[in-house]
Amino acid sequence: MEDKNNLIVYCEYDEGRIADVSLELLTKGRQLATRLGCRLEALVLGDKLDGIENELFPYGVDVVYKVQDNRLFPYTSLPHSSVVTTLFKEIEPQVCLMGATTIGRDLGPRVSSCLHSGLTADCTSLEIGDHTDAAKGKEYKDLLYQIRPAFGGNIVATIVNPECRPQMATVREGVMKKEIFDANYKGEVINLDPDNYIDPASLVVKIIDREIEQSKVNIKGAHIIVAGGYGVGSKENFDMLFELADVLGGEVGASRAAVDAGFTDHDRQIGQTGVTVRPKLYIACGISGQIQHIAGMNESSIIISINTDPDAPINAIADYVITGSVEDVIPRLIKHYKKNSK
Amino acid sequence: MGLRIIVLAKQVPDTRNVGKDAMKEDGTINRAALPAIFNPEDLNALEQALQLKDAHPGSTITLLTMGLPRSAEMVRESLYRGGDDGVVLTDRPLGGADTLATSYSLAQAIRHMGEFDIIVGGRQAIDGDTAQVGPQIAEKLGLPQVTYAESIQVADPAASGRNRQRQCRRLPSPQRPPHPEVQICRDAQREGRSARRPPGARRCPSLPCHQGVGREGD
Ligand SMILES: Cc1cc2nc3c(=O)[nH]c(=O)nc-3n(C[C@H](O)[C@H](O)[C@H](O)COP(=O)(O)OP(=O)(O)OC[C@H]3O[C@@H](n4cnc5c(N)ncnc54)[C@H](O)[C@@H]3O)c2cc1C
C-alpha cells in the first residue's frame, strides 16, 4: 500500500490516554479506509507517548505517527497546527477526521485554512460515495460524504469536497460508536522528530496556570434522561424536571432553544451541536423535535413525548405520547413515581 | 494605554423562529421571512470588548461584519452599546461564501483597516454553529488564537502580553499570547449590557461605515 493519500485521525491525548472521541473516529475510520482501500493512520502529539500505539492498534490502525515533545502538552493551537500542517503537506492524506471538541474545533479550522481545504463541522454521519458535477461534467469517485443536518427545517445535507485535499470533517463525541476491530492487530509506528515539525515561531503562547475540573453533568452516561425544551417555559419549570429526574435516578437534558432561553446550562444541550445520547428512556418535555435535536437522541431505546401539540414532529419518533402541558403532566408523574418507588 | 479592538460579528436569521413559513417549497430557507438579529454569541464578544474599553480608557472598538447591506444595523447596535465605529463588508460576490471564503475576505479587510491590538469574536454563529471563521482569520493573519475564552484581562498594560482564561473540555488555563491576537469568546456568564442609546437619540443617518473594502484587498 502507498504511504500517501491515506485516511488519518488526529488523536487527542491527555494525561497518558487517548480521548474516546478519537477512538470512535478510528472505529469509523477503519470502515472508511477499508472501503477506500487505503491505510488507516493515527497522529498523536504529546509529552509521554511511550506505548500509546498499543491503545490504538486494536482499532485497526495501520500506522501511528508519534510526535513526542514536552512543548506539545498541554495542547496549544499553534504548535499543534504547525505539526499537523507540516506532516499533511508531506503525506497528503485524502481524509482527515478530528473530534468536534474544544481542541478539534480550535485546530481543525486552522489546519483547513492553512491547507486551503474545506472542513465540515459536526458531521452526524460519514460515508464514501461518488459524485457527479453536472455543471463541469466531471465524475468523482470515492469521495467522503460529510453528512449533517442543514440549517433550517428538516433537511440533511451531504457535503463533498471534490477538488481539495484533505477532505476534513469533525464529529462530536458519542456520535460514532467505539469498537475494537481486532485485539491483536499490529501496525507500524513512525516517530517523527519534533524539531522538524514544530515551527519555533509557533511557541509564542505560554500557559501560565492550569486548573482541571471534572464536568459535573454526565448526561452521556445516564440511562434515563428527562429533557426539556422551549415549551417548558421557564427556569422554575425546569426545576420540576430536575425533581422528576431525581425521582427516576436520571439526568436532565435540554434542547438548544431551552439553553438559549437561559432555562438551563449549555452542558446539558442534546443534539447535533450538543451531546449525543442513547439512554434506555428519554422523556422529551416541550420539545418540538427539530432535526438537530433528533440527531442527538433518536437512538434512545424508549422515547416518551410530553407536548401540548399532538402533531409535534417528535411524536412521530416517540414510543409514547402524552398530549398535555408540562406544568400539568410533570407534577403528576413526580407524584406517581414517588408513591410507587416507596 | 488604550487598546485598538476589532469585534467580529455576524447578522443571522433568528433560528429560534424557524417555523414552517420560513421554508421555501424546495426545502431551502426563505431568509426574507426570518427576522435578522445580531448573532447572540457575538454580543458576548462585544461585551468583552466594552469591558476592556472600560478598564483601559482611550480604547476604541471597531465592529467588523460581512453580509447584506442591512448588516449596517449591526454597526448601529454596536454604536448604541458603546462601540466607536464599524466596517460593513458587502458585495454580491461575497454572497454564499463558505467559511474559508468568509475568513479570507474578513482577513483582507482587517489588513486594510490598519493596526490593532486584539480581535474578539463570538464562539460561533447560531445559523451554522461551525465556529470556524475566528481561527481561520487568525491563521490567515498569522496570529495566535485563544478559543472558548471565559474572560480577557490585560496583565500589564505596558507589557505586550495578556492574561486570559481558556475554557477547555475540562481544563481552563490562562494563556499568555503576545499581541495582536484573535480571541473567541464562549457564551460566558456575563450578561450583555443593553443598548446605551441616549434618550431621544435618532438613528444616525450616516454612519462611519466603509463599504466594499474587500475588493481592494491585496
Ligand atoms: C446549526 C444549528 C445547530 C443546532 N443544534 C441543535 C442541537 O444540538 N440541539 C437542539 O436541541 N437544537 C439544535 N438546534 C436548534 C433546533 O433547530 C431547534 O430550534 C430546537 O431544537 C428547538 O427546540 P425546542 O424543541 O425546545 O423548541 P420549539 O421548537 O420552540 O418547540 C417547543 C415545543 O414545546 C411545545 N410546548 C409549548 N408549550 C408547552 C407546554 N406548556 N407543555 C408542553 N409542551 C409545550 C410546543 O408544542 C413545541 O412542540 C440547532 C440549530 C441550528 C441552526
Is B210 domain-assigned?
no
Whether B200 maps to a domain, the answer reads no
Q: Look up the domain containing A328 and give its range.
A: 224-340
**Is the pLDDT reported for residue B162 higher than 60?**
no
The CATH number given to whatever domain includes residue A331 is 3.40.50.1220
Residue with cell 449525543: A276
Do A247 and A184 sit in the same domain of this protein? Answer: no
- Is residue B209 in a domain? no
A169 → chain B, closest CA residue: B130
Contact A81 B133 (CB under 8 A): no
Residue at a domain's end among A139, A171, A202: A202
Q: Does A27 share its domain with A110?
A: yes
Alpha-carbon distance A251 to A216, whole Å? 11
Task: State the average pLDDT over residues B103-107.
Answer: 97
| A218/B contact by beta carbon, under 8 A | no
Distances (CA, A) of A109 to A101, B38, B183, B201, B213: 12, 23, 14, 41, 24
Residue B206 lies in a domain: no
Ligand 1 in reach of A293 Cβ (< 6 A):
yes
Decide whether any atom of ligand 1 lies within 6 Å of the A155 Cβ: no
Q: At what angle do helices A77-91 and A104-115 cross, to 10 degrees?
A: 50
- Say whether both A191 and A46 belong to one domain: yes
CB A269 less than 6 A from any atom of ligand 1 = yes
Is A115 inside any structural domain? yes
Gap between the Cα atoms of A296 and A316, Å rounded: 16
Q: Are residues A265 and A190 both part of a single domain?
A: no
More confident residue, B82 or A157: B82
Provide the 10 A C-beta neighbour count for residue B151. Answer: 18
Same domain, A193 and A231: no
Lowest mean pLDDT among A129-133, A261-265, B165-169: B165-169
Distance A252 CA to ligand 1 centre (A): 15
**Domain-located, residue A216:** no
In this structure, of A27-31, A57-61, A257-261, the range with the lowest mean pLDDT score is A257-261
Percent of chain A past pLDDT 70, that is, above it, reads 98
- Is residue A264 lining ligand 1, measured as CB closer than 6 Å? no
Mapping DSSP to helix (H, G, I), strand (E, B) and coil, where does residue A193 land? Answer: coil
| The three grid cell numbers given for residue B34, joined into one nine-digit string | 426570518
Whether B202 is in a domain gets the answer no
Please, what is the Cα angle at B156 between B150 and B161, to 5 degrees?
Answer: 65
**A152 versus B76: which is more confidently predicted?**
B76
**Whether residues A31 and A75 fall in one domain:** yes
Mean pLDDT of chain A: 94
Q: Is residue A213 part of a domain?
A: no
- What's the predicted TM-score (pTM) here? 0.84
Q: Is residue B141 part of a domain?
A: yes
- Domain of B129 in residue numbering reads as 8-13+23-190
> What CATH code is carried by the domain that includes residue B147?
3.40.50.620
Tell me whether residue A283 is in a domain.
yes
Closest to A110 (Cβ–Cβ): which among B130, B135, B175? B135
Indicate if A49 and A120 belong to the same structural domain: yes
Q: Report yes or no on A261 lying in a domain.
A: yes
Q: Which residues of A161-200 are buried (b: 16+ CB within 10 A; e: fewer)?
A: beeebbbbbbbbbbbbebeebeeebebebbebebeebbee
CATH number, domain of A142, equals 3.40.50.620
Q: Does the beta carbon of B192 lie under 8 angstroms from any beta carbon of chain A?
A: no
**pLDDT digit string (tens) for A239-266?**
999 999 999 999 999 999 999 999 999 9
Residue A53 lies in a domain: yes
Provide mean pLDDT across the span A30-50: 97
Same domain, A189 and A228: no
- Please give the pLDDT value at position A253: 97
Instruction: Give the per-residue pLDDT at A99.
Output: 97
Domain match, A245 and A195 both = no
Q: In this structure, is residue A2 part of a structural domain? A: no
Mutate to test the pocket of ligand 1, among A122, A230, A236 (most ligand atoms within 8 A of CB): A230
SS3 of residue B40 by DSSP: helix
Our count of domains for chain B comes to 1
Residues A62 and A178 in one domain: yes
Residue A32 has pLDDT above 90, yes or no: yes
Structural domain tally of chain A? 2
Whether A44 is covered by a domain: the verdict is yes
Residue among B23, B40, B171 minimizing CB distance to A210:
B171
For position A149, what pLDDT does the model report?
85
The CB of A273 under 6 Å from ligand 1? The reply is yes
Cβ-Cβ contacts under 8 Å, B129 against chain A: 121-122, 272-273
**Residue A3: strand pairing partners:** none
Question: What is the rounded average pLDDT of the residues A32-46?
Answer: 97
Q: Are residues A191 and A118 in the same domain?
A: yes
Give Dmax (Cα) for chain A: 70
Which residue type is seen at A202? S
- Verify that A147 and A111 share a domain, yes or no: yes
Distance from CA of B112 to the nearest CA of A (A): 20
Residue contacts between A and B (CB atoms, under 8 Å)? 129
Domain boundary among A133, A168, A202: A202
C-alpha cell at B27: 426545502
Which pLDDT tens digit goes with each residue over A138-187?
999 999 999 998 765 567 889 999 999 999 999 999 999 999 999 999 99
